[in-house]
Copies of this chain bind each other. A is one copy, B any other.
Amino acid sequence: MEESIIIPPLSSKDFESDQEIRWCPGCGDAAILKQVQNLLPSIGVPKEKIVFISGIGCSSRFPYYMNTYGMHTIHGRATAVATGLKLTRPDLNVWIVTGDGDALSIGGNHLIHLLRRDLNVNILLFNNQVYGLTKGQFSPTSEQHQITKSSPFGNTDRPFNPIALSLGAGASFIGRTIDREAKHLQEVLRSGQEHVGASFIEIYQNCHIFNDGAFEIFTNRTTRKSSVLFVEHDKPLIFGENNQLGIKLDGHQPVIVHINEQSSLNDLWIHDEKDKIKANILANFFENEDYPRPFGVLYKNSLQQEKSSIVGQKSIDSSVYNQLIAGKENWSVL
């Protein structure tokens, strides 16, 4: 079965299917689609070896627009479907596209188990903090007190912290990016794709119909620089309007400091993708509005080697089957 594969140079166009895009004009989903299509020609995998699997939701329409193999499954189960595919076909390049409802509400269990099993797939969680397709109920990432169709007096639940949850589930790769940062998005996707193991990538995605502006603070010119912390491996944590702020670790406590005034660049927390405790501390920023929101590859620690053999390809003699059928104890009737 193994042949030497010659990959013809593909372009992003090759990954566009013939289906008309049915997202609301301006939906963040389309921006993400574009970046995925831009990325794929460069990952060195032939088109027919790529599979996109989604659940149900606006975001889960994704596979229809990709000219690869794909499945638009049922709500919450993309992770489970992908598990069966990847277990039996480790040779394939499997992408899961899911929403905050799909992955974290109905599909929460399969997600944490997939992360625990550390299957070598890429999980793109389109987080718009709302149920888009069903027209605007709160989701497990909706903010507390958020007014939605199903919470007219404000959502009473606290949201999940998806980074903390995935860390807790044992994820080996955790990234966060946002629909509006095309380059960053593509780079985080690329890191995830290169990582051997389950890559969990939370993508903030604006639903301008039912939850417009949820991430405005991270995209708006005036607030963006002081709300977003782009982390890079081996680089200090720096943010702020003029990159004047940094984060230092005081023992195990993160502290925001003015660079030069309170602290020198050298004293800053240096991002270490492999440090789980640091990843936990970064994850906790979510719960405290004083801290900026970290974006980038927050944690990455390869636990395994790439497997590429397809299971079930042993060549077995019929006599071996006959042994199986006959069992240990048998007798003849003449």
Q: Which residues of A contact B (CB under 8 A)?
A: 105-109, 112-113, 116-118, 140, 157-161, 164-170, 249, 251-253, 276-278, 280-281, 283-284, 287, 303
B252 engages A160 (CB within 8 Å): no
B168 engages A169 (CB within 8 Å): yes
B158 engages A164 (CB within 8 Å): no
Contacts of A105 in B (CB 8 A): 113
How many of these chains are in the complex? Answer: 2
CB nearest to A159 among chain B residues: B116
Nearest CB of B to A191, in Å: 21
A157 engages B116 (CB within 8 Å): yes
Complex partner residue of A113 from B113, B140, B166, CB under 8 angstroms: B140
CB nearest to A156 among chain B residues: B117
Nearest CB of B to A251, in Å: 6
A112-B160, A164-B167, A280-B280 known; 19 new pairs, CB 8 Å cut-off, are: A108-B108, A112-B112, A116-B158, A116-B159, A118-B158, A158-B170, A160-B169, A160-B170, A161-B170, A164-B169, A165-B169, A167-B168, A168-B168, A249-B252, A251-B251, A252-B278, A253-B277, A277-B281, A277-B284
Complex partner residue of A168 from B113, B140, B166, B251, CB under 8 angstroms: B166
A165 engages B112 (CB within 8 Å): yes
Contacts of A170 in B (CB 8 A): 158, 160-161, 164
A117 to B276, CA, bound (A): 26
State whether A158 and B277 are in contact (beta carbons under 8 Å apart), knowing that A164-B168, A165-B168 are contacts in the complex: no
A157 to B198, CA, bound (A): 13
A106 to B251, CA, bound (A): 39
Nearest CB of B to A289, in Å: 16
Nearest CB of B to A253, in Å: 7
CB nearest to A108 among chain B residues: B109
A48 to B158, CA, bound (A): 31
29 examples of A-B residue contacts, CB within 8 angstroms: A105-B113, A107-B109, A108-B109, A108-B112, A109-B109, A112-B112, A113-B140, A116-B140, A116-B157, A116-B158, A117-B158, A158-B170, A160-B169, A161-B168, A164-B167, A164-B168, A164-B169, A165-B168, A168-B283, A249-B251, A249-B252, A251-B251, A252-B252, A252-B278, A253-B277, A276-B284, A277-B280, A280-B281, A280-B284
